[in-house]
C-alpha cells in the first residue's frame, strides 16, 4: 500500500484536486439553479402585481 502511494504521488494529488474542483463546480451549479428559480419567482410576482 505504502509502495503504491509513493509511486503514484502525483496521481493521488491529481485525483484529490480534481475531486475538490468538481465539488466546487457542483456547488456553483446548485447556487445558479437556486438563483434562476428565485429570479423566475420574482418575475412572476412582479407580473401578478
Partner 1 sequence: MKIIKYLSSLIITLVIISGIAPPIVEFPMHWYQYPIIPGLEDKFRNIFFHVPTAWVSTIAFLVSTYYSFKYLTSKNDLYDIKAESSASIGLLFSLLATVTGALWAKFNWGSFWNWDPRQVSIVFLLIIYFAYFLLRSSIKNEISKNNISAVYNIIAGISSIFFTFILPRMLTGLHPGAKGGKDLGPILGGSISGNIMVTFFVSLLGFTLFYLWLLNLRTRTGILMKELKYD
Task: Give me the least distance between CB of 3 and partner 1, in Å please.
Answer: 19
Q: Does 35 bind partner 1 (CB under 8 A)?
A: yes
Matching residue, cell 484536486: 17
Whole-number Å distance between alpha carbons of 24 and 17: 11
Out of 28, 30, 33, 40, name the contact with partner 1 by CB under 8 A. 28
Distances in whole angstroms, Cα of residue 23 to Cα of each of 7, 26, 33: 26, 5, 15
Q: Which residues sit at the interface with partner 1, rule CB under 8 A?
A: 10-11, 13-14, 17-18, 21, 25, 28, 31-32, 35, 38-39, 42
Amino acid at each position: 500500500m505504502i509502495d503504491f502511494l509513493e509511486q503514484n504521488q502525483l496521481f493521488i494529488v491529481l485525483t484529490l484536486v480534481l475531486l475538490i474542483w468538481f465539488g466546487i463546480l457542483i456547488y456553483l451549479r446548485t447556487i445558479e439553479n437556486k438563483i434562476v428559480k428565485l429570479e423566475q419567482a420574482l418575475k412572476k410576482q412582479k407580473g401578478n402585481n
